[in-house]
Amino acid sequence: MYDVIVVGARCAGSPTAMLLARKGHRVLVLDRAEFPSDTMSTHFMHQSGLARLRSWGLLDRLAATGCPPITEAVWWYGDLPIRGSAPAYDGVAEAYAPRRIVLDAMLVDAAREAGAEIREGFTVRELIIEDGTVVGVRGRSHGGQEEELRARAVVGADGHRSLVARTMNAEVYKERPSITVAYYTYWTGLKRGYEVYLGNEQQVAVMPTHGDACLIVCALPNAEFGRYRADVEGTYHQIIEDTCPELGKEMREHGQQMEKFTGTKDLPNFYRRPYGTGWALAGDAGFHKDPVTGQGIADAFRDADVLSTALHRVLTGTGEWDQEMANYEETRNQATAALYEFTCLAATLQFSDRMRQAFTVLSYDQAEANAFLGLVAGTTSVIEFFSDEHMGGLVERSKDVGDRERTLTRQAAATG
């Protein structure tokens, strides 16, 4: 009998298991994948997620994998560059875009080192439910016999199509259909940093990663999936040509494509009630959203932290299940509500008139540019940034050529 069985060993599952094992609990992690294992995901990690890795003692280990730190971003809106650095989060100033085959294996190793038992290549087929309470799982290793495994709690960290959530009919709320479709691949031979190109209902992002390579992802509205279905390669390059032709030229002249294209149109947006009697959800299983703002990994890490603390309290008799799990859900929802709305808005790949005007100011005011970049890094309040007062101020300033001149003069003075 385990204290906790965790289904899924990636960004939500392994840290949940690691943190519980570090607190002395008997934890089993089951994943049908065998690590190192890649998964369909781009992998920009903002400062908020990295601060959690640091608190777990794993940030230095990530840096040691050879992934380049990202200290500056350039977002282009047409020919307006919004260049800067998001404010640091809890002292973490840099971002990273580590390949998932590296990151996920590192997380699995850390869970194992903490004392969690990890069974790779094990598929959970069903939950064991007694008197309405989840008490374990049934499943099998590749080619093995079916096994019954029991625990005091089962955590579904099993992704957005979660077997645990579907079996327990977890309530879904704030649901929105898929908004974008995105395809990506990796390139070498390019001299590029972290760049985002905001086009007209299309978007390109470049992320430097392991092996002197960069990932380039191209997104379209979900309704235009037919373009990708007809011709993935042609559509990918056409988006780059339309949105950032200079990048396209460099790719043609110097770039080597490293892998085939990967992509999906299955990017639904929803929350699930993340618990019931004997079971809880973490990561994408409980909260899934469009990847356009790159929040999934950091959200999974936060869930691991908060859920493992709640489970520890229940397992040690210092907390009561319903109360601890309600707090867990509340914490998650409060932490993510504004960014969820921003993500769903950003995923439309469209911009309001006032946002277009604001981009003008962001292109020359360093503090405002940094604040904008902090929206996705978790260091700028979405509510304050998009308040009528702040956005109204940016719009007014965008009409004032003198403001632009004064700001440029101040910048010139500051840089000597």
Ligand X SMILES: Cc1cc2nc3c(=O)[nH]c(=O)nc-3n(C[C@H](O)[C@H](O)[C@H](O)COP(=O)(O)OP(=O)(O)OC[C@H]3O[C@@H](n4cnc5c(N)ncnc54)[C@H](O)[C@@H]3O)c2cc1C
17 binds ligand X (CB under 6 A): no
**Smallest separation, CB 80 to ligand X (Å):** 23
The phi, psi pair for 5, rounded to 5°, reads -105, 130
For the chain, the farthest-separated pair of C-alpha atoms sits apart, in whole angstroms, at 75
Q: Binding marks (x or -) toward ligand X, 246..285, rule CB under 6 A?
A: ------------------x------------------xxx
Cα angle, residue 46 at apex, residues 16 and 24 outer, rounded to 5°: 20
Helix (H, G, I), strand (E, B) or coil at 293: helix
- Binders of ligand X among residues 297 to 326 (CB under 6 A) are 297-298, 300
| Residue among 138 and 254 whose Cβ is closer to ligand X | 138
Among 291, 311, 342, 369, binds ligand X (CB under 6 A): 291
**Smallest separation, CB 237 to ligand X (Å):** 18
Nearest residue to ligand X by CB is 296
Which H or E element spans position 368? helix 366-377
112 binds ligand X (CB under 6 A): no
Among 39, 141, 380, 381, binds ligand X (CB under 6 A): 39
CA distance 386 to 37: 39
Region near ligand X per CB under 6 A, out of 6-14, 18-26, 358-366, 390-398: 6-14
What count of residues does the chain have? Answer: 416
98 binds ligand X (CB under 6 A): no
The structure tokens listed for 93 are 């100033």
182 binds ligand X (CB under 6 A): yes
Among 10, 22, 54, 227, binds ligand X (CB under 6 A): 10
CA atoms within 13 A on the CB side of 22: 15
Among 23, 33, 120, 355, binds ligand X (CB under 6 A): 33
CA distance 31 to 177: 28
Helix (H, G, I), strand (E, B) or coil at 42: coil
* 39: nearest Cα among 47, 29, 31: 31
**Binding interface with ligand X (CB under 6 A):** 7-13, 30-33, 39-44, 123-124, 157-159, 163, 182, 264, 283-285, 291, 294-298, 300
